[in-house]
Structure 1
Amino acid sequence: MGATIGGVEACKGPGVPLVGAFSLREALDRVSQGKGCAYSFVDARTVRFSAARPAPPAPRPVVAARPAVVAPEPIAPLAPLVINAGKRSPRLGALAGGVSVIGSPQLQDTGVGETGSVARQTAGFMTTNLGAARNKILLRGLSDGTFTGRTQSTVGTYLDDIPVNYNAPDPDLRLIDVDRVEVMRGPQGALYGGGSLSGIYRIVTRQPELGRYSASVGSTIATTESGSNSYRAEGVINAPIGRVSALRAAVYYDVDGGYLDDVNLRLSNVDKTTRRGGRAAWRATLGDWQLKLSSALQSVSSKDTQYVTLAPGGPRRANQVREIHRNRLSQTSVKISGSGDWGQFESVTGYVTHRYASRYDATVSLSEFSEEALELGVYDESARVRMAIEDMIYTAPAIGRLRWMIGGFLATSIEEGDADLRARSGAVSRSYYDENRKDRLNEYALYGEATYDLGGDWKVALGGRAFKTTVHTRSYVLAPPPGQTRDLDRAASFSGFSPKISIQRDLARGGMIYALSSEGYRAGGFNSGGLTRPSEARRVFRPDHLRNYEVGATLNPLDGRVSLRAALFYDDWRNIQTDQYFASGLSYTANIGDGRNRGLEIEAGWKATPRLTLKANALFNEPKLTRIAPGYGITDSASLPGVPDVSFGSLVTYQRPIAAATLMLTAETSYIGESRLTFDPRFSPTMGGYYTGKLSAQVMTDRWRAAVFVSNPWNSSSDTFAYGNPFSFGQVRQVTPQRPRTWSLALSANF
C-alpha cells in the first residue's frame, strides 16, 4: 500500500494473514484486533503501532474544578524499516552487518534522484564524478582504483532482485517511485556471489497496489549559476485489474544543463546530459502465491565530460572534440513466490541488456601510435552486455530454534566490445588501433544460511556459497607498426567457497550487538588490449579475495527517539584487481598486490522534538597497500586510491503545520576528505578535502507539494574527482569541479 509501518513489536501473538481488497485503515483494524496494540497515523503514509492503553477506571465524583493542563506533544520514536538485503525480511537493525536504509519519505523530502545524492546520506558510500552513468560506487573505503575497465565492480547494483551491472559503470538509475534504497557494507559473497566484494547497493521499487487507483505527476525546473537550465518531468500511475492483480508504471524525462565552456571549440555549457526512462510492473495474488512481471528501461546521453585542466591562466576546458557518452540499460524479470506451512519459495528470472559507449580526445597521445605528424586523434569505445539470471531460494519453516534457507544461482553473460582510435593528417583520416573483443562468462552457485537461537537472546548464523565461474575470451587487434596485429582465444575456470559466520545478541527495543566474518571474491580473466601483445606477466589477471572481520552494535535508547549504529571493521584484501592504463592511454587489468583497511563507521538519528529530527553519519578508516606486486615501482607509502581517511555527513529536518499544510525545512551537508587518484602518491596529486550540501524549503499536503532546493549553496568549485581522459592523464592536471550553485523549483501532485 506504499505505507511505512513501525513499532509492530507492541502487538502480541502471531500475525493474521489478510486476503482481499481493503483500505489501509480496514487492514490495520483487522490485523491489530485482539493483539493488545493500537495504531496512529504520523502522516498519510506513515503508521506507528504502540501498546494499547488500559481502559480508564470509572470516574470519581468531581470535588472541585481544576485548571486544564495541556499535555506536551509526544515525541514519536524513529520508526524501524524492513529490508530484504539479507534475502529475507528482517527489521533494520536485526541483521548483523553494516546495513543502511533510506526510505521513500526521506528520499522525497531531500530531493534524492540519483546515486550521487544517496552518498551524502549513508556512511562510507562514495562515487567518482566522471559524469552521469560513468561513475563507480565505492563502499567502506575499499577501492580497486577509480578507472572502469575489465574488472568486475566491487559493489553489486541491484534493481529489486536483479543485478544490473558487471564491469560496466554504475547506470545511475533515476530514483523515481522508489520504496527505499538499501546499502549493505562489507563482502557479501556468501549470498550474492562475485561483484559484491565491498557491498550491495539495492534499489527497491514500489509494488503495484491491489484495489487502489492512484497517480502522481511532478516537474522541476533548475537554474545553475554560469550554466544552462535543467528540467525534469515524471509521472506514476497504479491501476488495479480485478480483485487480485494490479499494474504500476512510472516514466521520467530529465535534462541536466551544462556548466563548462570549451575555449578550443568555442562552445558554452558543453556538458549537457539527457536521461529518459520508465518502469512497468504487474502483480497478481493467487492464494498463497504471487506472480510479478516487471520491466525497466533507461537511456542516458551526455554531450561531453565534466573535467577541466589546470593551465597558467587557471582551470579551463580546451579539447579538440566533444567527449560524448551514451548508456542504455534495459531489464525484464519474472518473480514467483509462495509461502505456507511448508515454508517459503521464491524464484527470480531476469534478462539484462546494457549498452554504453564513450568518445575521448586522444590527440596528445598520438606519438605512441605513429611516428607521423598527426593533427587530431579520436578514440571510441563501446560495449554491449547481455546477461541472463536465475536465482531461486527456499526458506524452511522454523524447527524449534533453527531457521535455515538454501538457494541456487545461475548466470550467463556475453559482452561484445569494440575500441577504435582514428587520427587525421591533413585531409586523410585512418585507423591506428582497432580491437574487437567478446567475453562469455558463466557462473553457477549453491548457497545457504542457517541461524540457531542459543537462548538468552543470543543467535549464531553460518552461511556459505560454493561457486564455479568459467570465462572464455576472444579478441582480434589490428594495430599497424609500431603496434602488433594479433588475436587471442583463451578460456579459464575458477571455483571456490565463500563462507560467512556471525553471532549476535538481540537487545531491548530492537537493538543488537554482533560479531561477523565474511568473504567476497571476483573471478580472473585475460588482457588483450594495448599496442603490442601484453607481457607474460600481464596477459592474465588472477582472482582476488577479501575477508572482513567486524564487530558492531545497533542501539535505540530514549524510548526509540535515538537510533545509533556503529561498526569496527578490518578488511584483508589479497591480489587486488585494478584497471590501469599504458602510456598510450589503452587499458589493462592487473593484480597490484595486497591491501587492507581498518576503520570505524557510525550512523545516528535523533528525534529531538516532535518537529525536529537530526541524522549524521561518518567513516574513519585507514586504507593501505600492504604488498606491492613486482614491476610497478610503487612506494611503500601507497594507499588505496580515491578513498579518503575521513568522510561524514548530516541531515537536519524541521517541520510544522501551517494552515491546512505542512512546512518542511531540510539542511544537508557532507565532507569528503583528501585522497589520491592512483596507488602511487608520487604521480598522483591530492584531490578531495571539500564540503557539499543542499538546502530546501517545502510546503505540502496529502495531495500536492511545492519545494525549493539549493545545491552547493556556498558555490564551491572544489576538485571532486581528478580524472576525465586516459589519453591526457599524467600529461596535464585534470580537475572535476563541483556543479556551481543550483536553484530548483519542484511541483508535484497526487491523485
Structure 2
Amino acid sequence: MIGGVYRARQPGVLGSAFVVALLPALVQAAETDSGESDKQPRIDEVILVSGKIPTAEGDYAGSVSVHEKWWLDRQQPLTLAALAGQTPGFNIVDTGSRNPTPLIIRGLRNASVSSDDLGGNGGTVTRYIDNIPLQGDFLPPDMQLLDLEQVEVLKGPQGTLYGSSSLAGIVRYSTAKPQLGDYQTELSASITDTAHSDDLGYATTLVSNLPVGDTFAARLVLSKDEVAGFIDNDYLLTGSASDINSEAGEQARLSLRWQPSERLRVDGSYHYQDRTVEDRQASNEPFTGDAYGASSRFLQPADTELHMANITASYSFDFATATLIQSRYDYQTERRADQTDYLLWLDEVYYDSSFYSPYEDFASETVSDFNVSKDTTELRLTSPESADVWQWLVGAYYSKDKIDGTVVDLAPGLDIFWGLDEPEPRDYYAEQIEELGESAIFAESSHKLSQHWTVTLGGRYYDQSDDLTICSMLPMNDRFNGVEPTPYCDADEESDDGFLWKASAQYETTAGVRWYGVYSEGFRRGGSNALPAGVENNRTYSPDYAEHYELGVKTNELWSRLSLNASVYVIDWKQIQQSAYEVNGYLVNVNSGSALVEGAEIEGYWSLSPSWGLKFGGSYNEAHIDEPADAALDMDAYPQKDDRLPGSPREQWNLALDGRHSFGAFELDTLVSLVTVGDSTTALNETFADYQNLSGYTLLNAHAGIEWGAWYLAADIDNITDERAITGGRYSPEFGQQGRFDYITRPRSITLSARVRF
C-alpha cells in the first residue's frame, strides 16, 4: 500500500463458562414447567438470510445476533455504534464518518488502532448490503442505515460461504424490499441538538412503496441530512473555527421486484450516497487543553461518493432453487490531512533538519484521491423450500476489484523558498494501480439424522490473484538536487489458492432447546509487496487463517417468554500478517506468529409482560498473542506472548428495557438502553510507539415514541450522561504533540422526529 513507502487466561472466562454451564438447569425447568406461560406473549421466530438458505434462527448451528425492524426503528438516527453496542462480541473503533470504521468481532485484530485514513486492506469482518459485498483493499464509507428490515451479525470465521475478509465474521444489512400490491408512502423529518455544538442537525427521508399491477413493485428511499459538529480548532492557518467535524450527505435507493409467478422472482437495486465530512471526530486535549479542541493546521475534509447496483434472479425448480447474483460498487474518495509534523520528523531523522525546517512558515497537507470498483458474480443452487431432512447448496463465486489512486504531499511556499521551478508544491507523489481477482466454488449440506440430530458439512475452494503497481517520486527534493523528477515504479503479481472446511452438529431436546458444536475456518487474502526489481525476498505475503471451535445452546421459547443464546469458543489465528522491514530497508507485509482467542457470550430477550421486555447481552473475550512473531524479523517493536490484541475490550455488556403501551387511539413505545464497554489497548505492548491503554466507558440512551393514526412522533436521547470516551487515535511520536489526536464518542444528542404515512 502506498501509505507504507515512508519508513515509518483470565478468571472472567471461567465465570462466563459457568453461566453457560448453568443452562441445563434452566432447560430442565422449561421441560417441567406447567405454569401460566400461555398468558405471556410468544417471541416471534426470526428467519436468517445470511446462511444463504433461509433458516429459522433457532435452527442455525452457530452464533448470530439479529436486530429486527422493531428495534432498528427505535434508534434515531440508527448508527453502527448503536448496533455494535447491542451485539455481544462485536465492537467498533468509533472514528466518526470521515474514516472507514474498523469492525472487530471476537477480538480478531492485529493492527494498531490508528488514523487509517483510507481504510486499507487488513479488515477481518466483511459487510454486506443485501447481496452486495463491501470489502476489498480500500473500504467504502459507512452507509447511512435507512429503511432496514433486519441486521444479522454472524460471529466466528465464515470463510466457507463468504470467502476472504470474513476471518472474524460478517455483518449483513437486509433492506426493506418492495411489496406487491401495497401502496404506501412515508415522510419523516428530524432535528438534533448536540452538546458542545453551536448548530442543529437535521434529516429528512422519503420512503415510498409503489406497486404496478400484480407482479411488479418499486421502493424508493430518498434522504438528506446535516450533522452538527462539536470539535473546535484554534490552530488552523486560516484562523479559528468551530464545529469543524460537521457533515452533510444525500442518499437514494431504488429497489425493484418483478414476480410474474411463484417460481420466478427478480430483484434489482441501485444505491447512491454522497457525503462530505469537514474534519475528524477527534480532539487533542493534551495539546489544546480543551476536551473538544483539535490542533491541526489545515481542515481535513473527506468527500466520498458511492454507487452500488445489484440484480438477483431466482427460479424455483422442483428439485432446487437457482439464484444468480450480479453486483457492482464504485467508490470515489478525496481526503485531505495535515502532514506537517510528520514531514518535520522526517527532516530531523533523514535530512538533519536541513530541508523543511529552514522555512519558518513550513506547513504541509496530504491529498489522497482514490477510485475503487468491485464486480461480483455468484451463482448457486439450493435445496427446495419444502426440503426438511436434507438441505444443501452448491455455488460458484467470482469477483474483481480495481483500484486507481494517488497520494500527494503538498508544501505551499516551500518551492518559492528554495527557488525551485516546480509547477505545484508537490513534496511527494505516489500512484497505486491494483487489480484483485477471486474465484471460488463452495458447497454446504445439512442432514437431519433423526428427530433430534442434525449435522452440517461445508467447504470452499478459492483461487486469488493480485496485480499491483506502485509509482512514486519526490519532485521538490529531486529539483533541489538538480534532478528532473521521474516516477519510480515497482510492480509484482501474487496468487494463492486453498481450501476451507466447516462442520457442525446440533441436538434438539423435546423442549425445543438446541445444543450445537461448530468447527469453521476463515482467511484473509494475501498480496504483493511492491519492491524494486532487484529485490528477491518478501515479494509476496500469504493469507492468514483462523480455526474456530464453538459450543453453544439456544432456545426461542423458554416458558414461552424467554429467548436465550449462549456459547463458548476458541479461535486459533495462524500466520498473522504483520509489517516488517525487508533486508534492504523496505517496509513489507510478512506472515509470522499466531494468536489465541477464548471467550463466552450470552444474549437474549425476556418478555416480562405483555407490555414490557428486556433485551440483554454480554461477552468476555480474551484475545492474545500465543506465538510471537519471528525474532529474526526487522520490526520497530515486537509482539510478546500473551499481549492483548489491540482495539477489543475483554468485557462488554448491554441491557435494553422495551415498553409498548396502548392508550385508546395512542400507542406509546419506549426503549432505555445501557451499554458498557471495557478497557482496550491501541497496540500490542508498550514497546510500540503508539501504545495506549484506553479506559472503558458506559453509554445510556433513551427513546420514546407516540403513534396516533398515520402520525408518529418520537424523542431520542443518545449518551444521556455526555460521556467522553476515547476509542482510538494517533499517538506515534513522528507526528509530534500537535499532530496526535484522540477519536472520541459523540456527545449527548437529543433528536426530535416526526413521521407520517399516507
Q: What interval of TM-score do these two structures reach, taking the shorter chain for normalisation?
A: 0.7 to 0.9
Q: Show CA shifts across 1:324-368 (max 9, x none).
A: 112222111111101142211111111111122322111111131
Corresponding position of 1:64: none
The change in CA–CA distance for 1:173 and 1:426 in structure 2 (over 3 A counts) is: closer
Q: Secondary structure at the match of 1:270?
A: coil
Corresponding position of 1:75: 40
Does residue 499 of structure 2 align to residue 497 of structure 1? yes
Q: Secondary structure at the match of 2:285?
A: strand
Corresponding position of 1:10: none
Separation of aligned partners in 2, 1:384 and 1:192: 24
Corresponding position of 1:634: 638
Corresponding position of 1:6: none
One of 438, 457, 461 as aligned partner of 1:462: 457
Structure 2 counterpart of 1:78, which letter?
I
Q: Secondary structure at the match of 2:47?
A: coil
The change in CA–CA distance for 1:618 and 1:167 in structure 2 (over 3 A counts) is: farther
Q: Secondary structure at the match of 1:720?
A: strand
Corresponding position of 1:63: none
**1:197-236 alignment to 2 at 5 Å?**
197-227=167-197, 228-236=199-207
Give the percent of matched residue pairs that are identical in Structure 1 and Structure 2.
25
The change in CA–CA distance for 1:587 and 1:309 in structure 2 (over 3 A counts) is: farther
Distance apart, 1:621 and its partner CA = 1.0
Separation of aligned partners in 1, 2:189 and 2:509: 45
**1:734-745 alignment to 2 at 5 Å?**
734-745=741-752
One of 372, 380, 390 as aligned partner of 2:377: 390
Partners of 1:115 and 1:173 within 8 A in 2: no
Separation of aligned partners in 1, 2:702 and 2:534: 51
Corresponding position of 1:376: 363
Structure 2 counterpart of 1:318, which letter?
S
Q: Which has the higher helix share?
A: 2
Distance apart, 1:727 and its partner CA = 6.4
Q: Show CA shifts across 1:385-436 (max 9, x none).
A: 1111111110134788433210010111111121111223457362221111
Corresponding position of 1:514: 516
Distance apart, 1:262 and its partner CA = 0.1
Q: Secondary structure at the match of 1:622?
A: strand
Partners of 1:694 and 1:710 within 8 A in 2: yes
The more displaced of 365-374 and 95-104 is 365-374
Corresponding position of 2:400: 412
Corresponding position of 1:48: none
**1:92-107 alignment to 2 at 5 Å?**
92-107=57-72
Distance apart, 1:172 and its partner CA = 1.7
Distance apart, 1:169 and its partner CA = 3.8
Corresponding position of 1:715: 722
Structure 2 counterpart of 1:191, which letter?
L
One of 238, 241, 257 as aligned partner of 1:283: 257
Distance apart, 1:382 and its partner CA = 2.5
Distance apart, 1:689 and its partner CA = 0.6
Separation of aligned partners in 1, 2:230 and 2:588: 33
Separation of aligned partners in 2, 1:580 and 1:562: 50
Corresponding position of 2:568: 568
Distance apart, 1:635 and its partner CA = 4.8
The more displaced of 218-227 and 505-514 is 505-514
Q: Secondary structure at the match of 1:598?
A: strand
Distance apart, 1:734 and its partner CA = 2.5
Distance apart, 1:174 and its partner CA = 1.7
Separation of aligned partners in 2, 1:593 and 1:354: 34
Structure 1 counterpart of 2:272, which letter?
L
Q: Show CA shifts across 1:228-286 (max 9, x none).
A: 21111101111111111111110111111000100112000000011211111111112
Q: Show CA shifts across 1:442-484 (max 9, x none).
A: 1110000111221141011110001100111111111355999
Structure 2 counterpart of 1:111, which letter?
Q
Q: Show CA shifts across 1:474-504 (max 9, x none).
A: 1111135599963112111110001100011
Distance apart, 1:658 and its partner CA = 1.9
One of 140, 143, 151 as aligned partner of 2:109: 143
The more displaced of 390-399 and 341-350 is 390-399
Q: Secondary structure at the match of 1:79?
A: coil
The more displaced of 253-262 and 110-119 is 110-119
Q: Secondary structure at the match of 1:736?
A: strand
Separation of aligned partners in 1, 2:378 and 2:178: 22
Structure 2 counterpart of 1:144, which letter?
N
Separation of aligned partners in 1, 2:408 and 2:520: 41
Separation of aligned partners in 2, 1:581 and 1:103: 47
The change in CA–CA distance for 1:733 and 1:537 in structure 2 (over 3 A counts) is: farther
Structure 2 counterpart of 1:631, which letter?
D
The change in CA–CA distance for 1:386 and 1:729 in structure 2 (over 3 A counts) is: farther
Corresponding position of 1:667: 672
The more displaced of 573-582 and 151-160 is 573-582
Does residue 638 of structure 2 align to residue 650 of structure 1? no
Separation of aligned partners in 1, 2:84 and 2:534: 37
Q: How many residues align?
A: 676
Partners of 2:37 and 2:559 within 8 A in 1: no
Q: Secondary structure at the match of 1:105?
A: helix
The change in CA–CA distance for 1:383 and 1:628 in structure 2 (over 3 A counts) is: farther
**1:114-129 alignment to 2 at 5 Å?**
114-129=79-94
Separation of aligned partners in 2, 1:484 and 1:572: 46
Corresponding position of 1:541: 541
One of 305, 317, 333 as aligned partner of 2:294: 317
Corresponding position of 2:683: 678
The more displaced of 325-334 and 161-170 is 161-170
Corresponding position of 1:172: 142
Does residue 710 of structure 2 align to residue 703 of structure 1? yes
The more displaced of 404-413 and 128-137 is 128-137
Q: Secondary structure at the match of 1:311?
A: helix
Partners of 1:687 and 1:722 within 8 A in 2: no
Does residue 225 of structure 2 align to residue 254 of structure 1? yes
Separation of aligned partners in 1, 2:734 and 2:406: 17
The change in CA–CA distance for 1:689 and 1:137 in structure 2 (over 3 A counts) is: same
Distance apart, 1:300 and its partner CA = 1.8
- The runs of 5 or more residues in structure 2 that have no matched partner are 1-35, 417-423, 479-484
Distance apart, 1:157 and its partner CA = 0.8
The change in CA–CA distance for 1:219 and 1:618 in structure 2 (over 3 A counts) is: same
Distance apart, 1:579 and its partner CA = 7.0
Q: Supply the RMSD in Å over aligned alpha carbons.
A: 2.7
Q: Show CA shifts across 1:283-311 (max 9, x none).
A: 11122111112111112210001111232
Corresponding position of 1:692: 699
Distance apart, 1:591 and its partner CA = 3.8
Partners of 1:307 and 1:723 within 8 A in 2: no
| TM-score, length of structure 1 as denominator length | 0.85
**1:607-626 alignment to 2 at 5 Å?**
607-626=607-626
Partners of 2:374 and 2:400 within 8 A in 1: yes
Distance apart, 1:688 and its partner CA = 3.6
The change in CA–CA distance for 1:478 and 1:427 in structure 2 (over 3 A counts) is: closer
One of 267, 270, 294 as aligned partner of 1:295: 270
Report 1 or 2 for greater relative contact order, CA contacts < 8 Å, sequence distance ≥ 6.
2
Structure 1 counterpart of 2:303, which letter?
R
Corresponding position of 2:482: none
Separation of aligned partners in 1, 2:181 and 2:200: 40
Q: Secondary structure at the match of 1:728?
A: helix
Q: Secondary structure at the match of 1:471?
A: strand
Distance apart, 1:577 and its partner CA = 2.5
Structure 2 counterpart of 1:218, which letter?
S
Distance apart, 1:578 and its partner CA = 5.0
